[in-house]
């Protein structure tokens, strides 16, 4: 079996167009007022707001700065989140929809103000955001969403036509939003943070949290940070003491990008719930050209056929836009909260000095900036409570209980994988049965083994049980990774943790499968 090639270079444009960072790993024990776990946009935004209030801050990152979800986003900074406001008004009430809109608008302008204050060169552009439809049947829903967004306080309107010829149902438009290069922004921000005394440590995966007065976080080599407050901003929390995993669903989306002539590139930012959900924007590239960035083909990690999905998305882009050959392909991962609203605040009902930011639902650029503002206000206790603090409280129950049917469906899906995958993975096998470039879960002596054979014939074998809660992983051929369909943990073929909530690697097994 030969695995067919995919178009474009594997890797995020944001990552490949910026230099690697080289902060040292944490060694030994250090102290700070606040330790922030995670150096993506949520973590670094929180550090920025805290250092402005005079707190001493340590940032711990398991990999590299802005190399996780933030480095693989589509980087839209917008308060228009597809068709969210009508749903919020129905499920949370009109006041909640207005608070959500106000928080998102605040985040958009806060990011713009930081860019201006620090004179950051990050390709920041003002652009109109659109939620469009491709079929006439979508028009009533778009018109209703425009009314709901306007009622929530946004200057939104329905427009019958856009620059996209295939948006035949028109669109909801929200003017003057932002798009930017997320890693250029965060690399400049982290330089400013370190200049102001923030200590940043990379390759420092946190594996334990001890709450108390003070709190203590421990990395995988035993190094520690002792701090009054701990902020966990790791996308999916590496610790989950409030069962947040039961209130979020992991979702992976594919991205393809290709050069396009500047005069042919769309100037707006677009998203649709039609055609399996698609997102479109462009970014500055070079003289006379921009980079068209298209996102879509959502799937639960560890399920489906990402290889075929990449090809569908690439075909969709080439059929609708006069782009050059596909230059890049990558994927992003999101956590969708069951009640739509991000979870930002106290880690659990009894927490006094531990805080969390998660569940951005695909809108992490505004969500991360919002988290920084909100968490800094909670940590410092300075000034009045932000108006939208309670809306985002992870300990909220009323809206969660309203989503009980959704929660039950989600947990039923998890149970299906937890039990069903074990029943289906019952055949014995060996490395000789695994084709080059593919991975398979087989049973050896009753134990599930995840076996990968590289194109050169090299075999890697690890335990197939996710180290988070024990679900069985599945192979993502397009990205060459093992993925957990229950809560979205991802691992390299050698078992290394690529994405949480898991913090421990998959146990290595003998490639000969004799053990």
Identify the pLDDT of residue 88.
97
Identify the pLDDT of residue 410.
52
Helices and strands in the chain, H and E counts:
11, 25
Map out the domains of the chain as residue ranges: 431-499
User: Quick one: which of 474, 512, 514 has its CA closest to 490?
Assistant: 474
Backbone angles phi, psi at 136, to 5 degrees: -55, -30
Q: What is the rounded distance in angstroms from the CA atom of residue 510 to the CA atom of residue 515?
A: 6
User: Quick one: which of 437, 481, 442 has its CA closest to 459?
Assistant: 437
Q: What is the DSSP letter of 416?
A: I
Element (H, E) at 88: helix 85-91
Q: Measure the N-to-C terminal CA separation of the chain; round to a whole number of Å.
A: 27
Q: Which residues contact 31 (CB under 8 A, 6 or more apart)?
A: 214, 225, 226, 227
Identify the pLDDT of residue 515.
37
Task: Name the token pair of 5.
Answer: 């090639």
User: Quick one: which of 64, 59, 366 has its CA closest to 217?
Assistant: 59
Per-residue confidence in pLDDT tens, the chain, 515 aa: 445 689 899 999 999 999 999 999 999 999 999 999 999 999 999 999 999 999 999 999 999 999 999 999 999 999 999 999 999 999 999 999 999 999 999 999 999 999 999 999 999 999 999 999 999 999 999 999 999 999 999 999 999 999 999 999 999 999 999 999 999 999 999 999 999 999 999 999 999 999 999 999 999 999 999 999 999 999 988 887 778 888 899 999 999 999 999 999 999 999 998 887 899 999 999 999 999 999 999 999 999 999 999 999 999 999 999 999 999 999 999 999 999 999 999 999 999 999 999 999 999 999 999 999 999 999 998 756 899 999 999 999 755 555 556 555 555 555 444 455 555 554 556 667 788 989 999 988 788 999 999 999 899 999 999 999 899 999 999 999 999 999 999 999 999 999 888 889 999 998 765 43
Beta strand 215-219 with 224-232 is antiparallel
Output the CA–CA distances (angstroms, integers) from residue 505 to 90, 91, 465, in the order listed: 42, 39, 10
Element (H, E) at 35: strand 29-37
Q: What is the rounded distance in angstroms from the CA atom of residue 320 to the CA atom of residue 292?
A: 11
Specify the CATH class of 431-499 in words: mainly beta
Q: Which residues contact 433 (CB under 8 A, 6 or more apart)?
A: 440, 442
Q: Which residues contact 218 (CB under 8 A, 6 or more apart)?
A: 206, 207, 208, 209, 210, 224
CB-side neighbour CA atoms (13 Å) of 139:
10
Identify the pLDDT of residue 55.
96
Beta strand 474-476 with 481-483 is antiparallel
Tell me if residue 308 falls in helix, strand or coil: helix
Q: What is the rounded distance in angstroms from the CA atom of residue 9 to the CA atom of residue 482?
A: 20
Q: What is the rounded distance in angstroms from the CA atom of residue 497 to the CA atom of residue 505?
A: 5
Flag whether the pTM goes above 0.85: yes
Sign of CA dihedral 486, 489, 493, 495: negative
Q: What is the DSSP letter of 246?
A: G
């Amino acid at each position: 079996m030969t695995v067919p090639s995919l178009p474009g270079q594997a890797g995020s444009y944001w990552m490949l167009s910026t230099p690697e960072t080289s902060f040292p790993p944490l060694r030994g024990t250090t102290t700070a007022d606040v330790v922030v776990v995670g150096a993506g946009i949520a973590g670094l935004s929180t550090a920025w707001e805290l250092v402005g209030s005079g707190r001493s801050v340590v940032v711990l990152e398991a990999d590299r700065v802005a190399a996780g979800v933030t480095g693989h986003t589509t980087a839209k900074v917008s308060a228009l989140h597809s068709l969210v406001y009508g749903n919020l008004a129905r499920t949370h009430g009109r006041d909640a929809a207005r608070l959500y809109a106000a928080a998102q608008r605040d985040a958009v302008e806060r990011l713009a103000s930081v860019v201006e204050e620090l004179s950051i060169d990050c390709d920041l552009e003002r652009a109109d955001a659109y939620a469009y439809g491709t079929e006439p049947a979508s028009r009533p829903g778009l018109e209703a969403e425009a009314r709901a967004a306007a009622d929530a306080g946004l200057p939104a309107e329905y427009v019958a036509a856009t620059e996209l010829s295939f948006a035949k149902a028109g669109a909801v438009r929200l003017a003057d939003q932002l798009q930017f290069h997320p890693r250029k922004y965060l690399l400049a921000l982290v330089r400013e943070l370190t200049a102001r005394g923030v200590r940043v440590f990379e390759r420092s995966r946190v594996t334990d949290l001890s709450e108390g007065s003070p709190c203590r976080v421990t990395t995988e080599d035993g190094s520690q940070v002792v701090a009054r407050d701990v902020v966990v901003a790791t996308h999916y929390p590496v610790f989950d003491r409030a069962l947040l995993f039961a209130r979020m669903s992991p979702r992976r989306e594919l991205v393809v990008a290709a050069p396009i002539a500047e005069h042919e590139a769309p100037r707006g930012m677009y998203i649709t719930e039609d055609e399996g959900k698609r997102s479109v924007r462009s970014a500055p590239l070079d003289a006379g050209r921009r980079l068209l960035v298209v996102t879509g083909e959502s799937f639960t990690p560890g399920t489906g056929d990402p290889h075929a999905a990449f090809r569908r998305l690439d075909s969709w882009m080439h059929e609708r836009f006069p782009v050059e050959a596909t230059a890049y392909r990558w994927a992003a991962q999101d956590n969708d909260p069951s009640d739509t609203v991000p979870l930002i605040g106290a880690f659990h009902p009894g927490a006094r000095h531990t805080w969390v930011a998660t569940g951005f639902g695909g809108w992490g650029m505004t969500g991360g900036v919002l988290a920084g503002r909100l968490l800094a206000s909670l940590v410092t206790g300075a000034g009045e409570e932000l108006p939208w603090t309670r809306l985002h409280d992870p300990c909220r129950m009323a809206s969660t209980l309203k989503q009980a049917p959704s929660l039950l469906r989600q947990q039923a899906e998890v149970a299906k994988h937890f039990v069903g995958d074990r029943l289906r993975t019952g055949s014995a096998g060996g490395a000789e049965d695994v084709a080059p470039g593919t991975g398979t879960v087989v049973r050896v002596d009753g134990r599930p083994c995840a076996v990968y054979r590289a194109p050169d014939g090299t075999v890697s074998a690890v335990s197939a049980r996710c180290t988070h809660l024990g679900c069985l992983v599945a192979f993502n051929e397009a990205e060459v990774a093992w993925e957990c369909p229950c809560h979205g943990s991802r691992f390299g073929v050698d078992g290394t943790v690529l994405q949480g909530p898991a913090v421990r690697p998959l146990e290595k097994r003998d490639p000969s499968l004799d053990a």
